[in-house]
Structure 1
Amino acid sequence: MESKRLAGEKAVDFVEEGMVLGLGTGSTVYFTLVRLAERVKQGLNIKGVPTSIETERIARHLGIPLVNSGEAGKIDVAIDGADAIDSHFTLIKGGGGALLREKMIALAADRFIVVADPGKFVTDLTHVNLPVEIIPFARELTEIHVKGLGCTTRLRMKDNKPFITDNGNFILDCSFSEIIEPNDLQMKLNRIPGVVENGLFAGLADQIITVDHSGKAAVLET
């Protein structure tokens, strides 16, 4: 928990007066939000674009000013977490179910900063569950096509019912025996009718903030 706090808080060092920020989702970003709220109370003028209903709820509770993506005009910096980060700084995201909005905001931002504790780093993404957001209609047909790319799939459940994203969709958690070309895989997934988006974030992170062996926050340039 301490490493999450250090990484999450460090990201606020990159926030400047007047910025529009993409506010990610998850346990590490929570510490970013808390620190950001402290800066706002001290007089920092920023606006945030939340990537999930949960982040919006937390940000409003903390007193962080919010705008929607249409009102924002541009996003200077997006700050978000990751479920896994490989040696090439390719991310898997979507464990919290917000992958579509997270990817939209990450792509729109001038700079994408990822905050992660050291446990998120892996040698490769093999056997790391890859979330794929799909529309509910004919989801069995979509699942067949996704499996055709060489993975096993599991429909994400919550309270004995299919998990519903903020966008009203389902999520397939997919396990691939190997992910050699992430860019190729994400394009193939997104070409399948019924697939909305996938949790591969390849070549998007500009900086990754984690904690080094000495216990201090470290910034990795990608």
Structure 2
Amino acid sequence: MPADLNPIDKAKFVAAKRAVDFVQDGMKLGLGTGSTAAWMVRCLAERVRDEGLRVTGVPTSRRTAELATSLGLDVRTLDEVRWLDLTIDGADEFDPNLNLIKGGGAALLQEKIVATASDQMIVIADAAKEVSRLGAFPLPVEVIPFGWQTTKALIEETLVSMDVLNREVSLRMNGERPLVTDEANHILDLHLGRIGNPRQLALVLNQIPGVVENGLFIDICDIVVIGEPDGKVSVRDINAGTVQDDQIHFAPTDNIFADPD
């Protein structure tokens, strides 16, 4: 690991390094998207290189596919693999029940498909992602481009009856143009402040015409690995009801960790 990482990146790195300890030889893995997941892909590639670990990876975005391929990992599509042993991914927020908000990297659709096609999902995060209640991070909703303004209006109308603090909805932009996802859709960001009933909101949003998927991951995550800048790691297993504290010791390494996205 490079010695000049800032504290947040150090926390992400140790969480990622601890999470890949769950990977066993022969596993079929879902590879998440985002800055924390990029560390995980690098740590996984290091184990493959140093231990001869044999794994198959299903990326959740083009970015992750390009990184994994560049590091020599065996990359396949979900259609080829069909079912996965484990998915490791980041999150924008997680609550005490390990419900998540994801989609800050605009890959929520593929991330949710891959996660739900896995026996287990592990989330890796720094401590700042932990919240008592979801909603401070804008909730991404992937919508088809056709009639997106009508879909936006329907979402705003629906939010009136939901237990949320705010109801602002904005189209995510990429410069001067709407952002386009890997599936050629747009992202609407819901600035809600607080979500009183995430399960209800997730169900209602997906009933709106034009909505493809929302960024609420309910009852999908099994374990969260939380990293700290000093190398401390906490592993919380929602099913076993356990919390395990570990320490990751930093050590010099080579350029497999260069330029995380």
- The aligned amino acid for 1:175 is H
Alignment match of 1:137 (pick from 146, 155, 173): 146
Listed as ranges, the matches of 1:77-92 within 5 Å are 77-92=86-101
How many angstroms does 1:215 deviate by?
3.8
Asked whether 1:75 is paired with 2:84, we answer: yes
CA contact (8 A) 2:168 2:191 kept: yes
* TM superposition outliers: structure 1 runs of 4+ over 4 Å: none
Could you list the runs of 5+ residues in structure 1 that have no partner in the other structure? none
| CA offset digits 1:166-222 (Å, max 9, x no partner) | 000000000125311111111100000000000001111100001269741221011
Correspondence for 2:35: 27
Correspondence for 2:195: 179
| CA offset digits 1:37-96 (Å, max 9, x no partner) | 111113111000000000001001111111110111320000000001122221100000
Distance across 2 between alignment mates of 1:123 and 1:166: 31
The TM-score with structure 1 as length reference comes to: 0.96
Distance across 2 between alignment mates of 1:173 and 1:159: 16
Distance across 2 between alignment mates of 1:12 and 1:176: 33
CA contact (8 A) 2:125 2:226 kept: yes
Asked whether 1:189 is paired with 2:226, we answer: no
Alignment match of 1:63 (pick from 67, 72, 80): 72
Distance across 1 between alignment mates of 2:17 and 2:107: 21
Distance across 2 between alignment mates of 1:111 and 1:178: 28
Alignment match of 2:120 (pick from 106, 111, 115): 111
Correspondence for 1:216: 232
CA RMSD of aligned residues (A): 1.3
CA contact (8 A) 2:143 2:212 kept: yes
CA contact (8 A) 2:101 2:139 kept: yes
Correspondence for 1:11: 19
How many angstroms does 1:32 deviate by?
0.9
Aligned residues: 222
Q: Aligned pair in 2 of structure 1 residues 213, 67: CA closer, same or farther (>3 Å)?
A: closer
Q: Aligned pair in 2 of structure 1 residues 213, 137: CA closer, same or farther (>3 Å)?
A: closer
How many angstroms does 1:126 deviate by?
3.2
Asked whether 1:37 is paired with 2:53, we answer: no
Correspondence for 1:148: 157
Percent identity, aligned pairs only, is 45
Correspondence for 1:2: 10
